């Protein structure tokens, strides 16, 4: 009989030490995915099992879900199932009872679906309800296959119940934090839409593209996952200052007069004023982006004429993403460019408008970015008809890149 867990059997003293450190480690983490991953890793080690899965109840969707699966074949794969079914996990979640199976395949409630797609054979199974202090079931802790080949006993049940009790408060706090963080991101995104929708036919597409491109650029530059996420979530706010611009300037289909162009440039100042002094890390990054995303590497940009490394890195990143997507999007004064033409423009402006290091990163990820602009069959005929009118001109370049 083969098991995926090959670690040595822990002594009683080693288990005690792991239990003592368990509470300390989980109390220090408020990010839900990382918390659940840490819990699952420790449970796998303490009980010496082949797999640990932590399911939480999604009350809105009436589902059980898990992204945290320790063991062979399912690492970081999301699983979802209806809450009200006849399965083992659903039964534990609905009743709050513990289920201990010595031979899972002999129980008619056990589903072999996950085993079949992950090359894993479940033998013994122990499922414990995860309850909060009020006794409400939050989810299910499930462990499979003890490494010694024996079935789970009452001692294992007791340990897993203890771990679930210790973990419940941390999971509730992390879940609340995730909900609040999600609400913050939604608020920021909707705030960004208020600035963009006035001069965009497809606001959501533009904001989505900016977020994806800045995220990929940050990754290509070697930034941490956390910094990549911050830049991605801050980037839609780069043009928040447009809320202060008059329609006759923002929506003008023709060339701006010098006076109008000076007014247009003020959206960077307005954006900086709106976001100045923010306490949130995302808004602090958005402040730099909104104020400095029209600065140029050679010092010819605005509002302060910063040059080279004087321009915050976050602003240099969003500048490349914004200009590329602006050129590829329809505007009232121009047709959408072909991505190949916009790409060539980005390369040509390396060392002039753009940081050469970021242009080099853009080249690395262009094959991925290009997929964002693949046309649907419905637009192919229209694009063919518009191709002659979409040839880049000096005026459209200037207006697209300066707004």
Can you tell me the mean pLDDT for 211-225? Answer: 96
H/E run at residue 325: helix 313-328
Q: Where are the alpha helices (DSSP H) in 8-112?
A: 12-27, 32-47, 88-95
Query: 79-82 and 125-131: which strand pairing?
Result: unpaired
Query: 79-82 and 49-58: which strand pairing?
Result: unpaired
H/E run at residue 78: none
- At 400 the pLDDT is 52
pLDDT tops 50 at residue 377:
no
Six-digit token string for 76: 């970081």
Surface-to-core class of residue 402, CB atoms within 10 Å of its CB (0-12 exposed, 13-18 middle, 19+ buried)? middle
- At 202 the pLDDT is 55
Those residues whose C-beta lies under 8 Å from the C-beta of residue 364, and which sit 6 or more positions away, are 220
What is d(CA 148, CA 185) in angstroms, rounded to the nearest whole number? 46
Q: Which domains does the chain have, with CATH numbers?
A: 12-176 (3.30.450.40), 200-402 (1.10.3210.10)
- At 223 the pLDDT is 96
What is d(CA 45, CA 40) in angstroms, rounded to the nearest whole number? 9
pLDDT in tens, 225-266: 999 999 999 999 999 998 888 878 777 777 888 898 899 899
pLDDT-wise least confident of 63-72, 86-95, 255-264: 63-72
């Amino acid at each position: 009989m083969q098991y995926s867990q090959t670690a040595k059997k822990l002594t009683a003293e080693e288990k005690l030490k792991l239990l003592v450190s368990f509470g300390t480690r989980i109390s220090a983490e408020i990010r839900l995915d990382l918390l659940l991953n840490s819990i699952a890793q420790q449970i796998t080690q303490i009980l010496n099992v082949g797999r640990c899965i932590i399911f939480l109840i999604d009350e809105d969707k009436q589902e059980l879900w898990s992204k945290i699966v320790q063991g062979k074949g399912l690492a970081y794969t999301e699983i979802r199932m209806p809450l009200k079914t006849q399965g083992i996990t659903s039964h534990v979640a609905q009743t709050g009872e513990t289920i201990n199976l010595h031979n899972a395949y002999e129980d008619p409630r056990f589903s072999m679906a996950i085993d079949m797609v992950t090359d894993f054979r479940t033998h013994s199974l122990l499922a414990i309800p995860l309850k909060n202090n009020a006794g409400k079931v939050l989810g299910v802790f499930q462990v499979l296959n003890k490494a010694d080949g024996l079935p789970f006993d009452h001692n294992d049940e007791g340990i897993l119940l203890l771990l679930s009790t210790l973990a419940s408060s941390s999971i509730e706090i992390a879940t609340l934090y995730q909900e609040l963080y999600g609400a913050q991101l939604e608020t920021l995104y909707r705030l960004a839409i208020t600035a963009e929708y006035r001069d965009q036919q497809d606001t959501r597409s533009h904001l989505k593209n900016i977020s994806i491109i800045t995220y990929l650029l940050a990754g290509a530059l070697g930034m941490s996952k956390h910094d990549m996420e911050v830049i991605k979530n801050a980037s839609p706010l780069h043009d928040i200052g447009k809320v202060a611009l008059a329609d006759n300037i923002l929506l003008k289909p023709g060339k701006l007069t010098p006076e109008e162009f000076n007014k247009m440039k003020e959206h960077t100042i307005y954006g900086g004023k709106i976001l100045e002094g923010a306490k949130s890390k995302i808004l602090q990054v958005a402040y730099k982006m909104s104020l400095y995303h029209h600065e140029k590497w050679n010092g010819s940009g605005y509002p302060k004429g910063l040059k080279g490394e004087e321009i915050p890195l976050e602003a240099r990143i969003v500048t490349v993403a914004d200009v590329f997507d602006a050129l590829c999007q329809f505007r009232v004064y121009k047709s959408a460019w072909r991505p190949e033409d916009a790409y060539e423009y980005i390369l040509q402006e390396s060392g002039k408008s753009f940081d050469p290091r970021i242009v080099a990163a853009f080249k690395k990820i262009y094959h991925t970015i290009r997929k964002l602009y693949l046309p649907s069959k419905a637009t192919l005929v229209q694009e063919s008809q518009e191709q002659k009118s979409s040839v880049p001109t000096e005026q459209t370049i200037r207006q697209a890149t300066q707004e």
